[in-house]
Structure 1
Amino acid sequence: MARVGIRDVAVLAEVAVGTVSNYLNHPDRVSSDKAERIRSAIETLGFVPSNAGRQLRLGTSQVIGYLAPDVSNPYFAGIAERVERRADERGVTVFLANSHRSREREDAYLAVFEQHRVKGMLVSSHLPIEDRLAQLRRRGTPSVLVGQRAHTDEQASVSLDDVSGGRQAMRHLLEVGCRRVAFVGGPVGIPQVADRLSGASAEVRSSGPATLEVIDQPDRTVQGGIEVGRALAARPASERPDGIFAVNDLLAIGIMQQLVLAGVTVPREVAIVGYDDNEFAEASLIPLSSVRGRHEGFGVAVVDLLFDAIERREIAEPHRMFDPELVVRASTTGFGVG
């Protein structure tokens, strides 16, 4: 079936095409009689107005793009929900895209955003992407880098202090008595992973006798955690870490699940801390201690900062950094007891 167009509406309403256009864009210019005929024709034909022409005239749409690396991760899904809420308050719609951590998909979606003349972009990536965003900015599409601090003031960003988060997680493990601690996650080329490891390593160095093992696991999912947990459970108890800091909650939950299935007691034998404090952390069979990165103000900050860039306002603080906080639960409480 052919798509109903503005000319079809004009024919049925017995008015000029320009009158239908005025009805859609400047209703105050159309008499009540003609407006009623046009309204009836639109309803009869099922006509759906297109914003494409208006967008081409104005040069932008009323849409912002949000590129996330993995919306199956509750952490990114939570950010998307808060971004949508704030964007709605600002009168724009969010075009959400999922890159699946693929550079090719990132590039493809950024191109789609630009082709659709979005007002601006929110971009979360685990890979270096500022050069690409700079190209888009020079062509007129501003952006905010979400989740990692940008290197230049020309690129606005909103992030977490992951070095502090790593220190908090490792400090807690050491304070409960862990001495053979492990950091699980990767690859360390990802800025967020590198910062969390940096903070954890600094805390071990400054907190007395403890050893730190780094276990590289680039698959930061529950399945990736299960693989690590299976390998750790196969070690003799004396060679197994007694404290584990996983780079996100999904990894931590997978590790904990496999250790418990193998008969390792959590937290008495092994204390575990995750990162992000996603919805599964508290709901886990053994509630997971985690570094909370969820802030109601995060989604508000990224959208508002993007509007500052869109409206070319001077940005006094181009890099907004939020402080994470440790949430202590049963996965670390009671280490060594019993």
Structure 2
Amino acid sequence: MHNTNMHEVARRAGVSLGTVSNVLNHPELVSDETRLRVKRTIDEMGFVRNGSARHLRVGSTQSIGLVVLDVTNPFFTEMARGAEDAASKRGYIVILCNSDNSSRKEMNYLRVLEEQCVAGILIVPVNDKTNYAQALRRRATSIVLLDRVSRDANKCSVSVDDIYGGELAGRHLLDLGHRRIAYIHGPLTSAQYADRLYGVHRAVSEAGFDPDRTIVPLAAETDNAFAGAARVESFLALEDSPTAIFCGNDYLAMGVMNELARRQISVPQDVALLGYDDVEISSMLAVPLTTIRQPKYDLGFAATDLLLDEIVNKASHTHRQIVFRPELIVRQSTGVR
């Protein structure tokens, strides 16, 4: 079976071989009329370019890697959607990898992505000690940190001000009269959870209360709904029981809400509950969840834009650290209607 090649496409479309190449690789350099004519010819002739040959020629593929902590968490699903949309606009595909909060799996995925010659990598790191990522940068692989601020001025990052998010949560609960607040969180080796706790501390201190008396941290083994449900027993065993629970993410909060309901403890009548992320389902729960909204889609989209700019314009690219501000979304779970 004959495979159509670029020379034949160029002859049929009445353009040069270089124009066909530009339509495939740099469509912004070609006029709309010519680009449409070449694309129509490609479709008519059934041409499929040889990705392996291009890979051998330029040393990388039209793909980027995205390494996240937990693909089952809706927060990362929406972030990945933003990354995919931004990549698709520039002719790239996204390879999604799930580190499962494991440094070992994270390192393995980074190695595999490098072996596959991806053009660059977006990563939500397990912790701040991702040495393999540093090695990748030394080998000229472009990397952008997601949901984490880069301490390196020569590396791009896109994140959210989680300290401010923690402050928003703390102030809201204090304004409602709560003076003892449980904070159910994932591992504090994750900067996000540590920053959110610091933000609550700051809000409590600024309100004139003692953070050590007001805040009761309850660490979960991980940060999914099952882990949240598992911490309810510890919460109920506390002396001088807190009247409010702030969860480090909505996934934890869903597990907490479900377990409280199973034990016939009402939200918000018996205990107020506040989450973090504002995943889509949080507004559809039996008791709609008050939460701190992160711009999940925008995080993925902005990070991919930065990564592709670095890939395409290496010489002129300026490294940036973009920080979004979260916002408080008030619903019924904290007793406000």
TM-score, normalised relative to structure 2: 0.83
Q: Which amino acid aligns with 1:27?
A: E
Secondary structure at 1:309 match in 2: helix
- Mapping for residues 169-180 of structure 1, pairs under 5 Å: 169-180=169-180
Q: Which residue in the other structure is 1:149 paired with?
A: 149
Does the 8 Å CA contact 1:222/1:253 hold for their aligned counterparts? yes
Between Structure 1 and Structure 2, how many residues are aligned? 303
- Mapping for residues 1-338 of structure 1, pairs under 5 Å: 9=1, 23-28=4-9, 50-209=50-209, 211-234=214-237, 239-310=240-311, 311-316=313-318, 318-334=320-336
Does the 8 Å CA contact 1:124/1:147 hold for their aligned counterparts? yes
Identity among equivalent pairs (%): 35
For structure 1, the residue ranges without an aligned partner over 5 or more in a row are 1-8, 14-19, 33-38
User: Whole-Å Cα distance in 2 between the matches of residues 216 and 137 of structure 1?
Assistant: 33
For structure 2, the residue ranges without an aligned partner over 5 or more in a row are 14-41
Task: Evaluate the alpha carbon distance shift between residue 283 and residue 53 of structure 1 in structure 2; reply closer, same or farther with a 3 A threshold.
Answer: same
Of 306-315 and 117-126, more deviation after overlay is shown by 306-315
User: Whole-Å Cα distance in 2 between the matches of residues 148 and 228 of structure 1?
Assistant: 26
Structure 1 or 2, whichever has the larger Rg, is: 1
User: Whole-Å Cα distance in 1 between the matches of residues 315 and 247 of structure 2?
Assistant: 40
User: Whole-Å Cα distance in 1 between the matches of residues 143 and 159 of structure 2?
Assistant: 14
Once the two structures are TM-superposed, the CA of residue 312 in structure 1 deviates from its matched residue by: 1.1
User: Whole-Å Cα distance in 2 between the matches of residues 73 and 90 of structure 1?
Assistant: 27
Task: Evaluate the alpha carbon distance shift between residue 51 and residue 319 of structure 1 in structure 2; reply closer, same or farther with a 3 A threshold.
Answer: same
User: Whole-Å Cα distance in 1 between the matches of residues 256 and 206 of structure 2?
Assistant: 27
Post-superposition Cα deviations, 1:131-171, rounded to whole Å, max 9, x if no partner, equal 32221122121010101001111111100000000110111
Of 123-132 and 71-80, more deviation after overlay is shown by 123-132
Tell me the C-alpha RMSD between the 2 structures.
2.4
Q: Which amino acid aligns with 1:268?
A: Q
Does the 8 Å CA contact 1:267/1:331 hold for their aligned counterparts? yes
Does the 8 Å CA contact 1:59/1:117 hold for their aligned counterparts? yes
Task: Evaluate the alpha carbon distance shift between residue 271 and residue 134 of structure 1 in structure 2; reply closer, same or farther with a 3 A threshold.
Answer: same
Task: Evaluate the alpha carbon distance shift between residue 295 and residue 24 of structure 1 in structure 2; reply closer, same or farther with a 3 A threshold.
Answer: same
Secondary structure at 1:152 match in 2: coil
Once the two structures are TM-superposed, the CA of residue 29 in structure 1 deviates from its matched residue by: 6.0
Q: Which residue in the other structure is 1:5 paired with?
A: none
Once the two structures are TM-superposed, the CA of residue 326 in structure 1 deviates from its matched residue by: 0.8
Task: Evaluate the alpha carbon distance shift between residue 194 and residue 315 of structure 1 in structure 2; reply closer, same or farther with a 3 A threshold.
Answer: farther
Post-superposition Cα deviations, 1:1-39, rounded to whole Å, max 9, x if no partner, equal xxxxxxxx4xxx5xxxxxx5xx4233346689xxxxxx9
Does the 8 Å CA contact 1:308/1:314 hold for their aligned counterparts? no
Task: Evaluate the alpha carbon distance shift between residue 313 and residue 48 of structure 1 in structure 2; reply closer, same or farther with a 3 A threshold.
Answer: closer
Post-superposition Cα deviations, 1:177-204, rounded to whole Å, max 9, x if no partner, equal 1111111113212111111111011111
Does the 8 Å CA contact 2:182/2:217 hold for their aligned counterparts? yes
Q: Which amino acid aligns with 1:217?
A: A
Does the 8 Å CA contact 2:103/2:126 hold for their aligned counterparts? no
